Structure 1
């Protein structure tokens, strides 16, 4: 791509324009207009911000947002280190299996995982029942509807964002340096403090930045697992729109969390070095690629055991939710005493569940088609851009992954309501294209980095025109990346809750929205069934992607 002539560069640069224009229209403009609304208060342009600081509930919500986000970030980093170290210190086949334990929850719907944690942690849930039967406690412990529930749920959802870059950093460590330090008499505590932590700090900071930015706009987990004291900014934004019709106040909260996200993202991009937050992973050294597992000290074994326990923590909700969906009792219990297909029959025969599933599939197809075309074109054309234009375009494309989903949802709701786009599939479909396009862009960019650009020059030199070169040479080479991006786009659309809550009505609501509504009222076996189906659909799609990747390699 770098060898393209100036005229061809200009032609390629145009491929980035459709996604950039789309995001300007359906992402940047709605979010910016929502932020501008914060200055439209009848009492004055800064009245909303003054009220945000003076009203105790708003001030407490803002403090809770940054406080909980900080705690979740710290917990995610602390928990990610043992997991990443364990994955990097075992044989490749076992590392692949452990990586699967991280990736399965990572790509499984956060709503499904939150639902599973509610079942596990509720007053007479699985964990309290086990503790009571074991005689370890006399009365149930309040694990949820308080700070502990929010921290458990959010850490479980966001911890993989730190595990993955840390694993890459550990794989890049030169094992001979650690062996030399140990041979010179250094204790493992000194080795960790003076070698491991400094060499992995950049990856940890990158993951922590992603976790903190994501936590700032979190909505589902605090709403379902938190109490009044754990009300966060996303919930207050929704409250001011749905109950108070106070758009300036919603805009003020949105402005603060969007500004914080952008500043953290800009700083993290600069500190992350080449490739930024979403750059290519560090390549493993020969020592860490060996098929021989490393020799472990007692401390090393302790870290590995801690990592194994945390991996079990990651997959626990998936292990619980499916068996409970087969329980014959109308009350959730684990393990189920009797098995039945009754609840599955209800889900597939009730019109509301069938309609919600069909809506999710239709909207997913809209998202996949739009995001795959726009994201792939943008990835192909980005190399033709130079300087600040390229930086600005790349940042705009990545920003939907960083900006709080609640701000996008409210911004699109404000724009789509007058256009009557909230009663069908297209309003939410356009929103999902915004969310999914960055995943396609990153997947195709990764495929392009492995592509030899001299093949294009060779084909052109042999007389092939631009279209023939594209269809015969470029597209077949990046097809695995396009397929992976399309799969990630479908998963992103199929799992979304926040946009679905605001951009659909009763007739067009999706399966995740229907699950959310049922969980908010009362958890019953049909919710476990629907959650299991969403998880299985996600795993099926990701398995297809894995098989396609292996067949192309």
Structure 2
């Protein structure tokens, strides 16, 4: 009787184990084929141009190291990226420490200060910084009127502008993992050190710094990887001396039409990024990138007395850093409400003049609807293939799983300028450039990793016993997925869809290559205006983008909260 019982259990669960790999590969296949055809093949096709057309040569690489201008650009890229990384780390420590030591309500406020600019378009933030920092901008006006300076200072179109703009965009990548490291500290070690008479400085130097170094390294590597391939902020806020490698690649494509040399520069840039990615993977693993840091301590702590010099220094330094993060986003709305033909802050006369211009001008409305249309189509495709891959990844062999996870998040690692040019090079012969489908393909490549990561994270906490129970009761795997699995991961799917929408709606770099005057999106139209002369209508457009982003995120929070409590 016992033997027959074992046989019955074996018969019941045998289909589960046998069908596991097959079902997993069927779910993974759409995203896998999509990325191979539209991501790997175009990028590799572009990079092959670096080695000659028809005959092998290394002349393009020799030119990079032979000509001093190109060596200077490479050095600029590395030095600027390093400076941005250091600034992000230094500025992140006080705000991450404060977030870990304050009450829950204050912590939520600081999270808003960090996440609001994080999810706001980098083009909007860059535009706001240009308005704040230009010679007749808000900061120079404030400093001259208060008597701190007698003549305006050049804060923008130079190194300071690039550092300010890039640090503002990339700083949240350090703050969040560093905060997680603070929250995972063993508070008993800190209390023991305090009990033995250690000063706050000693505790910070000998305990806090070593124990939070993993968060700093993780965030620093992510910032550096992003910095070396950055294009928008250096192009708009920098000068000739701050030219970075991504700008040089674009110039060789759009002005020199030298695809071979641009491909060689792309190989150099990609080699740097992939090396950093491999280093990140070896030090922290993909799990750190996809699910964040480890466990969080539920107990707040502080180093010494909050009323001490060290405690006051951390608190008071958080205030200007918080203002630095939130100011470019907050200042957009008051300036967009002005009716003056010039951008001033605070506005002398309030009104909706520039919003009226935005909603009445056909070019702005066409660009807005084009952005929304492309984003909605992108959401459908990215959410579908990203969700299927996230569900299927747990049903394949462990060895193949690691390779596939690396491939699926690779579009987040490869510099977007390389992806954009490679996709353009690939799609031109098929007539898909300057069409909605070419742009949707590019945006789906960018958005699908976010869907995959978000849904995958929600599946980590899924109780696998529910699957065994459903299969034991005779349900097929597809019935189980439809009735049990998918309803339980709906918040993750919605979150992934929100990330996909924002990624598509805010994209500029892919749109620069995949659209023309008739099909351009709202970010591209804004970029064209900022690159030549800032029309105040651009500020109204920035306000619209921020409002759309906030509405989408709030809807996501409400739906997620309802699902958690429903």
Q: Settle same-fold status: TM greater than 0.5.
A: yes
- Corresponding residue of 1:368: 379
The separation in 2 between residues aligned to 1:147 and 1:4, in whole angstroms, is 59
- Corresponding residue of 1:226: 238
- Corresponding residue of 2:45: 33
Deviation at 1:285, TM superposition (A): 2.0
Check conservation: 1:460, 1:469, Cα contact below 8 A: yes
Task: Choose 38-47 or 298-307, whichever is displaced more.
Answer: 38-47
- Corresponding residue of 2:512: 501
- Corresponding residue of 1:183: 195
Q: Does 1:278 align with 2:312?
A: no
Task: Choose 389-398 or 457-466, whichever is displaced more.
Answer: 457-466
* TM-score, normalising length: structure 2: 0.94
Gap change, CA 1:529 and 1:95, over 3 Å in 2: same
Check conservation: 2:158, 2:237, Cα contact below 8 A: yes
- Corresponding residue of 2:467: 456
Q: Does 1:174 align with 2:220?
A: no
Q: Deviations over 1:277-304 (max 9, x none)?
A: 23343222242399xx984532022012
Deviation at 1:536, TM superposition (A): 0.9
The separation in 1 between residues aligned to 2:417 and 2:457, in whole angstroms, is 29
The separation in 1 between residues aligned to 2:125 and 2:149, in whole angstroms, is 26
**Paired residue for 1:7, among 19, 39, 47?**
19
Check conservation: 1:146, 1:227, Cα contact below 8 A: yes
Deviation at 1:442, TM superposition (A): 0.8
The separation in 1 between residues aligned to 2:209 and 2:37, in whole angstroms, is 43
Check conservation: 2:433, 2:514, Cα contact below 8 A: yes
Task: Choose 401-410 or 24-33, whichever is displaced more.
Answer: 24-33
Unmatched runs of 5 consecutive residues or more in structure 2: 1-12
Aligned pairs for 1:438-477 within 5 A: 438-477=449-488
Deviation at 1:319, TM superposition (A): 1.5
**Paired residue for 1:406, among 388, 392, 417?**
417
Aligned pairs for 1:113-132 within 5 A: 113-132=125-144
Task: Choose 387-396 or 79-88, whichever is displaced more.
Answer: 387-396
SS at match of 2:299: helix
* Number of residue equivalences: 550
Deviation at 1:44, TM superposition (A): 6.0
Q: Deviations over 1:207-237 (max 9, x none)?
A: 1111111111111100000000001111111
- Corresponding residue of 1:488: 499
Q: Does 1:317 align with 2:328?
A: yes
Deviation at 1:43, TM superposition (A): 9.2
The separation in 2 between residues aligned to 1:468 and 1:85, in whole angstroms, is 47
The separation in 2 between residues aligned to 1:306 and 1:388, in whole angstroms, is 47
Q: Deviations over 1:406-450 (max 9, x none)?
A: 000000110111111112111011000000011101110111011
Unmatched runs of 5 consecutive residues or more in structure 1: none
- Corresponding residue of 2:117: 105
Deviation at 1:391, TM superposition (A): 1.4
Check conservation: 1:327, 1:525, Cα contact below 8 A: no
The separation in 2 between residues aligned to 1:53 and 1:402, in whole angstroms, is 25
The separation in 1 between residues aligned to 2:186 and 2:286, in whole angstroms, is 20
Q: Deviations over 1:78-99 (max 9, x none)?
A: 1111111111111112111111
Q: Does 1:243 align with 2:248?
A: no
The separation in 1 between residues aligned to 2:53 and 2:33, in whole angstroms, is 30
Check conservation: 1:216, 1:257, Cα contact below 8 A: yes
The separation in 2 between residues aligned to 1:7 and 1:105, in whole angstroms, is 45
The separation in 2 between residues aligned to 1:41 and 1:146, in whole angstroms, is 38
- Corresponding residue of 1:332: 343
Check conservation: 2:101, 2:300, Cα contact below 8 A: yes
- Corresponding residue of 2:74: 62
**Paired residue for 2:213, among 190, 201, 210?**
201
The separation in 2 between residues aligned to 1:20 and 1:391, in whole angstroms, is 14
- Corresponding residue of 2:403: 392
Task: Choose 149-158 or 390-399, whichever is displaced more.
Answer: 390-399
- Corresponding residue of 1:160: 172
Check conservation: 1:92, 1:289, Cα contact below 8 A: no
Q: Does 1:21 align with 2:36?
A: no
Q: Does 1:214 align with 2:216?
A: no
Gap change, CA 1:429 and 1:274, over 3 Å in 2: closer
RMSD: 1.8
Check conservation: 1:89, 1:294, Cα contact below 8 A: no
Check conservation: 1:172, 1:288, Cα contact below 8 A: no
Q: Deviations over 1:486-530 (max 9, x none)?
A: 000000000001000001111110000000000001112101000
Task: Choose 456-465 or 441-450, whichever is displaced more.
Answer: 456-465
Deviation at 1:41, TM superposition (A): 6.0
The separation in 1 between residues aligned to 2:281 and 2:103, in whole angstroms, is 32
Check conservation: 1:174, 1:287, Cα contact below 8 A: no
Check conservation: 1:101, 1:314, Cα contact below 8 A: yes
Task: Choose 451-460 or 144-153, whichever is displaced more.
Answer: 451-460
- Corresponding residue of 2:104: 92
- Corresponding residue of 2:8: none
Deviation at 1:466, TM superposition (A): 2.1
Check conservation: 2:16, 2:471, Cα contact below 8 A: no
SS at match of 1:287: coil
Structure possessing the higher radius of gyration over alpha carbons? 2
Q: Deviations over 1:343-402 (max 9, x none)?
A: 111111111101101110111012101110111011101112224321111111111111
SS at match of 1:185: coil
The separation in 2 between residues aligned to 1:286 and 1:102, in whole angstroms, is 21
